[in-house]
Structure 1
C-alpha cells in the first residue's frame, strides 16, 4: 500500500528551516573546519557538515496533518563542526542504533556504530554468505555436522569397557493366539518366540500389522507412508533365513515403524511438512540400517509433526488412541500412537508417550547415532523407542545403540545389561510429582525409596533450551526461511514465530546460554545423590532440564482416569496416567530395570485403547 500523500505546508516549513540554518552556518564557531560526512560530493550534505549541529532535535506534532514534521532546536550545547562527521548518525547508523536494543546491546555511541556497520559490510556479511554456500543450501541438517560436540557423559570415557549385547530373558510356553488382535498386543519377546518356533511367519505377522495400519491409520492420522513392498520383501528374507537355520535374535521378522524424519532410501521422508511432502532422500539412516541388520521389518513411515514440532502435519493432526477427541501431542505423535521408533529434542518422546499411554525410553544423549535424521539441535536430538513394555524398549535400544561416523556426537556407551541389575542395591528418590503407586511397588520389591529434590541455582532453564533449540534449528533451516517457506508452515504460531525470533539471538548470547547450560549440568550432577529418581514426565521444567543435561528417562503408564466432560451416556475413552523414571547419563539400564520391575507386577501397559468400542452412549465422530 502506498504511503498517503502529505500536505505541502510541513515541507515548506522544513525548507525554510534548512535555509535558515545554511545562512547562519558561516557565523557558527569553527564553521568549515569539520570533515565532510561520508556522503560523497557537496551540496546540502556538504553544507550540513560545515556547520554546528545542535545536540537536541525533537520532533513536534504538526497540527494540520497529525504527522510529526517540525523541529524544535536546543542550541545550548552545540557540537562543534569538527565532530559532526563522527557524531551525526546517518540513516544506516540510525537503523543500527535502533536495532541494537533487540540484542540488549544499545550502549554504543554513533562513532562505534559506524565502525560496526563498516565491519559488518566488509567482513561479516561476506563471511556469512560464504559459509551458507558451503553448508546451508540443503535443509534439515543431514550433512556437515557442527564441530562443537556436546558431551553428556559424567564418567571418564577412558574407563568404558567393551560394549556387550544384553542377555534377554527366556520366554517359554508361548502359543499363538487365535485372534489377530491378541497377536498385535503381544510383546517383542513373545512375538520373537512365535517366529523362532515357527508358529507364525514374519510374512503372516507383517500382514497382521499392515491391516491394522490401514484400518486405524486414517482414524488416528498416524501414518504417512505404508511400505508394503519393502515390508513383504524384508519379511520373506527373514523367513528364508530362519529356514536356513539362521536366527538373528528377538527382532528377527518383527514389524516396526519409523518416525518420518528418519531417511529410508526410495521412500518419501516428508518431515511432516508440505514443503517436503515429496522429498526422497538418497540416504540410509543409521537407525534403519541397524534395525535392518537384526531382521526387523519396516512396515510404515509414521507421522511427525511438521518439521518435528507438535502433532500438526501436512495431512492433519494425530489423535490419541485412548481418546480420539484429543490429540497425540509432541512431534513423535505417530510413533506414540502406533508404537515404534521416535525422537526427542524437547519432549517429543515423553509427551506423546504420556498422552497415549505407551512405554518409551528417551536414551542418554549420544547413545543412538542420528545419521540420516532431520536435525533440530545437534546437542539435544535423541532417538528412542515407543513400545508395549520396558522389556521391549530394552530390546530395541540394544539394537539401535552405537556410534556412527556420520554423527560426531554418537558414542559407544557401555550401558550395563538392564536384565541383570540388582534393584535391591539401588537408592531411588521420588519427587513430589511422582506417582506414588510406582514408589510403593518398587519399595515392596526391595528398592530403597527416599524423598528427593534436584537442587540448582540456574533460573533460566527453559530459556537456555529455547535459545539452543531455536538457533540450532534455524541453522538447519536457514535456506527454508530465506525462501519464505515459513509462510506455508502448517501451524503459524509454532516454528515460524520461533525461528524469526531466533534471527535476533546474537552468537555471543548463544554461547552464554551454553555456558549457563554447563553450570546447570554441574549443579545437577552434584545434587544427583541417588541412583535414579521418579517424577512427572510432562513437567516442562523437568523436560527442559533432562534434555539439557542429556539424562535418560523411562516413561511408564501407571493407570487411567475418566476424561473431562464425558458424554451423558458414558464412554470407554480414558485419560492415561504416566510417570518417569530418570537416571544419570549412561545409566539407561537403571531406568529400564526399575521400569521392568514395576511392570512385572502391574498391567497398566497391557491395557488396550477403545478405538473400536467407545461405548453405546458415545457418538463421537471418528
Structure 2
C-alpha cells in the first residue's frame, strides 16, 4: 500500500499528536455533576461520587422499603450507610456486573450499535463470555499464526470474473513476436537497459551467457543498492548456480524460452527456500520460509535467474522498511513510494531487467509511476499467491515491473496460473496480446488521461471516445480500507497481540490502521462486501468500451480498480521538471505516466494498447540519472 507524501524531509516520518477533546458523553457526565462543561474534576472526586452512587444502589435492595419510587423499591439515604460500607464499596465496584453493562453500552457507540437496553446488553454480555470468546480463542489457536502469511486461506473466495458460469477455454501460451537481430553492446550499462526480449535473443544466439548477465546485474545491484536502499538480500550463490544450469542446458540444445538465463528480482514478501523473507519488518528480518512460492517456481522452471530479494515497505506498506527508505532513481532526493519499492527502483535503475511486485491498493501503480517504469497489475486471481505474505485475500495480486509492455506480457505468460494453496487463483484463458487487432477496439479516455496517449492510439487506428465510469456507491475508499485492514488483522492477529506493532518502522501507518480494525463489526464488514458487489455491478454496466485511459495514482480509481479486480498497465509518457532542482545542471526529472485499464480477464487488451503506444514512442527507454547524487550520498564500485 502506498503513502502519498514521499519527498525527503527531516519531518517526513513524524506526526502531530494532540490530546483529543472531551467526548460528548463525558461532557454530559460532568454537567450532571453540576460541574462546568469542559472542566475535568480531580480523579479522586469522580471515583468517590461513583462509589457513593453505587453503594446507595447496592444497599437499597437490602434496606427497609420506607418509601416508594414508583417501582416499589425503597431507597435508603446515603447518610444511613456506615463508613465501612463506603470504604469497601470500591472493591465491590470492580466486580459488579452493572459496570460491565455500562462499559459495554459505552463501547457499542464505537460500533454504531448503541441502541440496546440494559436487559439486552446483559444477555449479550453473558452470551459473549459463554459462547463467543471461547470460540474466538479456539479458532485463533488453530489458524492465527504469528507468521501472517497466506496459511489456511479463507473458503470465502472473491471471483473477479464478469461472466457467470463461463466455459473455461483451453489455456494457451502467447505467441511471442520474432525479435530482430540483436548485437551485444560493448559496455555493461547498455546491456543493463536492454529489454527481456533483447537479452533473451543474446542468450539464445550465444552472444552472451547467463553467467555474464548475472555478473553485470549483481555488480549494478551492489553499486546502487546502498544509495537507493532497494535491496534486502543478494542471492548471489543461488544466482550463479541457476545461471550455470541455464548455460549448461543451452549447450545441450535445450532452450526454455524468453526468460532462459535472464536475471530478475523478487519483492521480499515472496518465499524462496534458504533465504530470508523479511516482509521489510524488523520483527521478521531473520525469518526463513522454507518453501518455493508459486511465482518463484514458475520463473525457476522458465530458466530465470534470481539475483536479489528486493525491498518491500514494512509489511507491504509504503517505502519504509527496517533498512531505511527506498529512493527514486529519477530524483535521488525523493522517495519511491511503495510498497513494491525495491522492484520499481531496481528495474528503473537498470539493476534488474524485471522484477515481481505485488499490489493490494496501489503498491504496483504508485512506485511504477514514481520511478517511471512499465508495470502490470493483472486481473485478480491471475497469478497464484502461494508462499506470499497476505494482506487481503480478496485484493492481493502479483505483477511484473519491466522495461516495456512486451516484457510485461512475456513475464505474465510465465507466472500466471492456479495453485491449490490459493483458492482465489484461476486459470484465466487470456487471448494473445501480441495478436489483438487494436483497430477493432473502442477505447475511452477520462479527463485525467494523458492526451499524447490518446493521440498516438488514435493515429494507430483505435477508436477513442470520451468516457466516464458511472456508479452511485460513494464509499469506495472506505470499503477498500475496511476490507484491507480487517483482512490483514486476521493474518497478523498474534503479531498485534504480542505487542510487535510497537516495533513497527512507521508508527503512523499499519499499527494505527490495524488497531482501528478491531472496531469493525463482522456485520459491517459483510455490509462493506455487499456494497462492493453493488459497485462491481454498476461499473460493469457502465463499462461500455473495451478499455479506458486514465490517471494511475488517483486514489478513488486505485481503490475502485482493486475492489473490482481490474487489470491496468502503467505506461511512462514523459517527464517534467522537478521542484527545487540543485543549483548545478541536473538530469533529475519527475516522470509522467498514464494507465490503460481493461475489464477483468482482458489484460491482453490493455497490454496490446500499451505495446502499440510504445512501438512509436521512447519514453520507456530513457535512463534515470542514478549517479546524480545528493550531497551526502555515496555509491560503491
**Mapped contact 1:403–1:410 kept (Cα < 8 A):** yes
Flag the structure with more relative contact order, 1 or 2, with Cα contacts below 8 A and sequence separation at least 6: 2
Residue in structure 1 matching 2:426, options 411, 425, 428: 411
Query: Superposition pairs for residues 132-531 of structure 1, below 5 Å?
Result: 132-339=140-347, 340-531=355-546
Supply the RMSD in Å over aligned alpha carbons.
2.5
Pair 517,9 (structure 1): closer, same or farther in 2 beyond 3 Å: closer
What is the TM-score normalised by the length of structure 2? 0.86
Bigger mean CA offset, 456-465 vs 14-23 = 14-23
SS at match of 1:225: strand
**Mapped contact 2:273–2:289 kept (Cα < 8 A):** yes
Q: Distance in 2 between matches of 1:97 and 1:16?
A: 17
Q: Distance in 1 between matches of 2:47 and 2:414?
A: 79
SS at match of 1:27: coil
Q: Distance in 1 between matches of 2:45 and 2:602?
A: 74
**Mapped contact 1:360–1:387 kept (Cα < 8 A):** yes
SS at match of 2:65: helix
Between the two proteins, the alignment pairs up a number of residues equal to 570
SS at match of 1:557: strand
Pair 107,398 (structure 1): closer, same or farther in 2 beyond 3 Å: same
Pair 108,180 (structure 1): closer, same or farther in 2 beyond 3 Å: same
| 1:473-505: CA deviation from partner (whole Å, max 9, x where unpaired) | 000000000000000000000000000000000
State the Cα distance separating 1:9 from its structure 2 match.
Answer: 12
Is 1:600–2:615 an aligned residue pair? yes
State the Cα distance separating 1:139 from its structure 2 match.
Answer: 2.5
Q: Distance in 2 between matches of 1:292 and 1:16?
A: 70
**Mapped contact 1:534–1:582 kept (Cα < 8 A):** yes
Is 1:26–2:65 an aligned residue pair? yes
**Mapped contact 1:259–1:334 kept (Cα < 8 A):** yes
SS at match of 1:346: coil
Pair 53,422 (structure 1): closer, same or farther in 2 beyond 3 Å: farther
SS at match of 1:541: helix
State the Cα distance separating 1:129 from its structure 2 match.
Answer: 0.3
Name structure 1 gaps, 5 residues minimum.
35-49, 58-87
Pair 549,11 (structure 1): closer, same or farther in 2 beyond 3 Å: closer
State the Cα distance separating 1:155 from its structure 2 match.
Answer: 2.0
Q: Distance in 1 between matches of 2:97 and 2:234?
A: 62
**Mapped contact 1:224–1:260 kept (Cα < 8 A):** yes
State the Cα distance separating 1:570 from its structure 2 match.
Answer: 3.4
Q: Distance in 2 between matches of 1:15 and 1:99?
A: 22
State the Cα distance separating 1:565 from its structure 2 match.
Answer: 1.2
What is the TM-score normalised by the length of structure 1? 0.88
Pair 100,9 (structure 1): closer, same or farther in 2 beyond 3 Å: closer
| 1:377-421: CA deviation from partner (whole Å, max 9, x where unpaired) | 000000000000000000000000011111000000000000000
Q: Distance in 1 between matches of 2:397 and 2:607?
A: 17
Is 1:92–2:100 an aligned residue pair? yes
Q: Distance in 2 between matches of 1:9 and 1:535?
A: 59
SS at match of 1:113: helix
Q: Distance in 1 between matches of 2:221 and 2:538?
A: 45
**In structure 2, what is the equivalent of residue 580 of structure 1?**
595
**In structure 1, what is the equivalent of residue 557 of structure 2?**
542
Pair 13,605 (structure 1): closer, same or farther in 2 beyond 3 Å: closer
State the Cα distance separating 1:18 from its structure 2 match.
Answer: 4.0
**Mapped contact 1:350–1:360 kept (Cα < 8 A):** yes
Q: Distance in 1 between matches of 2:300 and 2:76?
A: 75
Name structure 2 gaps, 5 residues minimum.
1-40, 79-95, 348-354
Pair 222,9 (structure 1): closer, same or farther in 2 beyond 3 Å: closer
Residue in structure 1 matching 2:585, options 544, 556, 570: 570
Q: Distance in 2 between matches of 1:440 and 1:544?
A: 27
State the Cα distance separating 1:374 from its structure 2 match.
Answer: 0.2
**Mapped contact 1:325–1:620 kept (Cα < 8 A):** no
State the Cα distance separating 1:566 from its structure 2 match.
Answer: 1.2
Pair 110,251 (structure 1): closer, same or farther in 2 beyond 3 Å: same
| 1:575-608: CA deviation from partner (whole Å, max 9, x where unpaired) | 0000000000000000000000000000000000
Pair 241,565 (structure 1): closer, same or farther in 2 beyond 3 Å: same
Q: Distance in 2 between matches of 1:466 and 1:26?
A: 56
State the Cα distance separating 1:282 from its structure 2 match.
Answer: 1.4
Q: Distance in 1 between matches of 2:449 and 2:600?
A: 20
Q: Distance in 1 between matches of 2:450 and 2:47?
A: 74
Q: Distance in 2 between matches of 1:462 and 1:315?
A: 31
Pair 170,122 (structure 1): closer, same or farther in 2 beyond 3 Å: same
Q: Distance in 2 between matches of 1:377 and 1:521?
A: 18
Q: Distance in 2 between matches of 1:274 and 1:447?
A: 50
**Mapped contact 1:89–1:110 kept (Cα < 8 A):** no
Residue in structure 2 matching 1:124, options 127, 132, 155: 132
| 1:280-336: CA deviation from partner (whole Å, max 9, x where unpaired) | 011110000000000000000000000000000000000000001000001100000
Q: Distance in 2 between matches of 1:8 and 1:545?
A: 49
SS at match of 1:215: helix
**In structure 2, what is the equivalent of residue 590 of structure 1?**
605
State the Cα distance separating 1:157 from its structure 2 match.
Answer: 4.7
Bigger mean CA offset, 151-160 vs 418-427 = 151-160
Pair 225,23 (structure 1): closer, same or farther in 2 beyond 3 Å: closer
